[in-house]
A and B are shown apart, each in its own frame.
Chain A
Amino acid sequence: MARHVVAAVDDLPPGTRKFMTVDERPIAVFNINGEFFGLLNRCPHQGAALCEGPLIGLAQSSTPGEIEYTRLGEIIRCPWHGWEFDVRTGQSYCDPRRFRVKAYAAHVEAGASVVKGPYVAETLKVSVENDYVVVDL
C-alpha cells in the first residue's frame, strides 16, 4: 500500500469531489463536511462511473411512512441504476453482502510531513505551507 498525495486541502473544499487516476485505478476523493473519503469510481454492478452520482442521505424506516433520514451527503447513488453506496465504507444498501465498492482511507497531512515522505505525489507540487489530502491505495 502506498500513500498518495492527491490534492491540496484548499483545492477540495467541503461539498466538492475530485476525480483522478491512481495506479491506473479511477478514484474520486470527496470532502464531506470537512472529512475526506476516497472511493473507486466504478460501480460493482455494471461498471458505471459511480462517483459522478448524486450524494444523498441515508433513508431508513422501521414503520411504513416514518422515515429516518440521516447522514446527509454520505450516500452516493449510482447514476446508472440508482444503487446506493456508503461513502464511508463502500457497502451497498440493496445487497450489502454481495455488493461493495472499494473505499480508500483518506486524511489530511501537513505539508511539512508530506514533503518528508514516503508519499507519492502524483502530479502535485507540494509545499510545506499547505495541508494535503492523502489517500491510502
Chain B
Amino acid sequence: MKELSYDAVVIGGGAAGMAAALELEAAGRRVAVVEREERLGGILGQCVHNGFGLIEFDEELTGPEFAERFEDRLSARPIEAFLGCTVLELEVEGEAKVVSCVSRERGVMRLRAQAVVLAMGCRERNRGNIRIPGSRPAGVYTAGLAQRLVNVEGYVPGKDVAIIGSGDIGLIMARRMSWIGCNVHAVVEIMPYPSGLTRNIVQCLRDFDIPLYLSHLTTDIYGRDRVEGIEIAPIENGALVMEKAFKIPCDTVLLSVGLVPENELSRKAGVSINPMTNGPWVDSFLMTSVPGVFACGNVLHVHDLVDYVVEESRRAGRFAAEWLAGRRPSRELRVKAGANVRYVAPGRIEPGRDNKLYLRSMIVKNDAVLEVKLDGKPIRSVKKGHVQPSEMITIALGAADLVALAAQPDSTLEISIQ
C-alpha cells in the first residue's frame, strides 16, 4: 500500500475541487486532487446545455466547456490529479489527515496531508427521500441519471415522460427529452412556485408547451413492470384534495426534487453538519469543525450557479493556504439567518477582511430589502428587485463595512429579508 505526502489533498475534482486546488498551488503548496471519475469536471461533463460561466468567464458556456477550461488550467500546473480514484476514508490523526483511496491502477493509497479540502458535491434526492408511494417498476430515474444516460451514454430512458419536481436539472431534462423526440407530459411541483430558475421555466417548458402543475403532490406511481403513469392531486389551502386527483399516463418518471450535499465521508471523519444546509458548519476560513479540513462548493451548501461554486472554492483554497502558513482568524462574528432567510453561509466571518456571504430566501418577493444588522443595529440594507428560494443571493461585506463598527468578540451579524 502506497503512502504519499502533500500539503493539501482536495477530495473531488469537479468545479469546486479544481478551483480550490488551483489556489492552493498558486500559494506554493503541493496539492493532490482525488477524483473518482476518469476525467476531471464532475457533473459538468453531462450538463451539455449552456448557461455556465457568465460570471467567471463573462460568456455563456456549456458544462463541458466550463469544466475543460478549468481542466486546462489545472494541467498547466504541477497539481497531482488521481483519476478513477475513490476515497474510502478520511482519518484525522492529530495534526495530520490521511485520505485513503483506491483505484484500478494504483490499488489502495494513503495520502497524508496537513489540510484537506472537501469538494465532493451533492447527490440528488430520490423517490424514497420524498416518500412517493406506489409500485416499483422500471422507468423511475433521477433527472441527473437520465441526463447521464442521454447526454453521455446516448440511450433514451423512456418516451413518455412525467417529471416530478421543478428543479433545474428536471427542467433542463424536459427540454432535452423534447429535443430527442420524447413527449414530456407534465412537470409536477409540490410548492406554489417553481424551484428552478425562471429562464429554465421559460426556455425548457413554455417553448415546448409542457404543463407545469404547481401545488400538486404526486400521490402514486403505478405500473407493474414498467411505469404506466402517475397520479397527482392538488394542494389547496394547505390540504391535499384527493377528489381532484387525476392520472397522467407515462412510461418514465424523472425526479428533480432537490440536491443533498454528500457528507458521509465528512461525518465519519467527525465533521459537524448544519442541518439547514446538510453541509458542514464552517468558520470564516470555510474550515469545518475539524481543524485543517475545509469545505466548498455543493458539499458545503447547494449552489445554483457553478460560477458561485468556483468563487467560493477559490476562497476555500486561499484560506487553506493561509491556514497552512499559520494564519488564524483574529476575531470572528457569528452570522445568523434572520427573518425569511433559510441559511447564510458561512456561519462565521472575520470582520477585518473582505467577506462574501451566500444566502437563500424562504419567500418569493419582488422589491425586497436585505437587512444586515450587527447586534440588533442596522448597518446595511440592500434593495433586491426579486427574491425567491431557487435563486441564491450573494452579499459582499468588506472590512470597511465591519471594522469601523464596534463589533464585540461575541457579536452577531443577522441578515433578514423584508
A and B are partners in one complex rather than unrelated chains: no
